[in-house]
Amino acid sequence: MANYNSLEQLLASTVNLVQLVKNTAYDDSTLTIDGVDWFKFNNVVATKIYINGNSWFGFGGSSEQLKVCRRDAKMYNFWREEGTLFNHFRFLRMKWDGFSRYNSTSSDVALCYEVFLFDTGDIFLNVIQAPTNTSYLGTSQLVCSGGTKSFAITAGATVQVTFTSLNEAGSDYEMTYGLIPIEPPYNRKFLVSDIDGRIYTIDINNEEQTLVEIENVTDLTAELFQTYGIDDLPVESLLMNLISPGILFWQDSENELPTIQMGVTALPPNQTVYTENVSMADSTIKGIENVTIDSDDLTLFAVSVDGGISWYAYVDSIWSQLSETQSGMTRLTVEGIGTDAWALFATTGQMKFRFNLAEGSYVNNITIHYLN
């Protein structure tokens, strides 16, 4: 039996499913498979599960107890998996695949879904593919002693439905839409660190969070997390004031730690960029025809012919020396400089560009077109 450390991991995996029916038509016929001895439905232990080609399940008895787009349908494939979640909760996973119209294999009536039984007594339905033809959505409901729980399946949509057991006999359920809420059966705590190794907890006052440094931390211990740790990941805004922030995670279990992913959007400061000093000493180069630039229209450019000692811009048909590093010409100005103007300026056999990048600006390339 495989173990999964999150519901998302369980739903994404298919490698442990065992296929019991492969491209074999079940029309009005019923498939009987081994169930489990730890799940009750209507006070009957579900040691056998009954799966009908008309898209219904019976838990411990061959009767229509869970109907998913139930109508005159046909099942072609079926899988079963038994495993654990968080190394704690047992589950039985069953996957039904076929068509909601018995005499058609058209994609608009394709139907595929999974039914999960958990040892908490709960049932989870994961509809992977629903018919896009609204005429073949059939009837969807859970029929139990406590009453019929009808639910909607939208044409072409993925749907998740949770049936939470209200008693140990499994005779009544509360129905909700969405992922089944199964929490890990252990304690988890988070702390925050920075580039200097300082450790922070989070003070929550009137729903506002504030970083608070924990003094004299010499080791990361379970006691430290239990005393100062918080239950949930910190909000992103708290980490913005730290250099190289880190999130420290602890749980009171030997199970594999979950993978924590954090998206970071970084905005570099305004900066001045210098190109390499380009040599034009080759005898085949007779001059510069023009310069083209792939950039935004706001970035400013300057050019040097003495290795970056002095910088110039072409202003009002004159090459003028610049005194400030943030000044220069726009892309359109540079591209508008003609061959004669370049000939007057580029007389040293070398050339170097400078440009200033600000928020939202970019420079992909600067291309010098030579006369040969």
Distance CA 168, CA 38 (A): 11
User: Which token pair is 206?
Assistant: 């009137």
Distance CA 290, CA 343 (A): 10
> What per-residue confidence (pLDDT) applies to 91?
98
Per residue in 173-216, pLDDT (tens digit) is: 999 999 999 988 878 888 999 999 999 998 877 677 888 999 98
pLDDT over 70 (residue 257):
no
Task: Give the chain's domain count.
Answer: 3
Per residue in 58-102, pLDDT (tens digit) is: 999 999 999 999 999 999 999 999 999 988 899 999 999 999 999
Residue 256 lies in a domain: no
Continuous segment of H or E residues that includes residue 292: strand 287-295
Per residue in 316-348, pLDDT (tens digit) is: 999 999 998 889 999 999 999 999 999 999 999
Which of 19-33, 113-127, 278-292 has the least mean pLDDT?
278-292
pLDDT over 80 (residue 313):
yes
Tokens 């040691």 sit at which residue?
A: 47
Residue count (the chain): 372
Is residue 348 located within the same domain as residue 311?
yes
Q: At which of 127, 157, 177 does a domain end?
A: 177
Please give the span between the terminal C-alpha atoms of the chain, in angstroms, as a whole number. Answer: 73
By DSSP bridging, strand 159-165 and strand 311-315 are unpaired
User: Which token pair is 138?
Assistant: 């059939």
Is residue 241 located within the same domain as residue 288?
no
Instruction: Render 349-370 in DSSP notation, one character per residue.
Output: SEEEEEEEE-TT--EEEEEEEE
Question: 256 in helix, strand or coil?
Answer: coil
Distance CA 140, CA 115 (A): 13
Is residue 215 located within the same domain as residue 96?
no
Among candidates 129, 127, 125, 107, which has minimal Cα distance to 116?
125
Residue 258 lies in a domain: no
Per residue in 166-184, pLDDT (tens digit) is: 999 999 999 999 999 998 8
Q: If pLDDT is split at 50, 70 and 90, which confidence band does 288 have?
A: very high
Is residue 111 located within the same domain as residue 28?
yes
Share of the chain above pLDDT 90, in %: 73
Is residue 364 located within the same domain as residue 228?
no
By DSSP bridging, strand 74-85 and strand 2-4 are parallel
Cβ neighbours, 10 Å, residue 291: 19
Tokens 């442990």 sit at which residue?
A: 16
User: Residue 37: which domain range?
Assistant: 2-177
Torsion of CA 351, 356, 361, 362, to 10 degrees: 30
Among candidates 371, 345, 286, 287, which has minimal Cα distance to 353?
345
Q: Identity (one letter) of the amino acid at 45?
A: V
- Biggest distance spanned by C-alpha atoms of the chain: 97
Is residue 193 located within the same domain as residue 166?
no
Q: At which of 123, 147, 177 does a domain end?
A: 177
Question: 238 in helix, strand or coil?
Answer: helix
Residue 259 lies in a domain: no
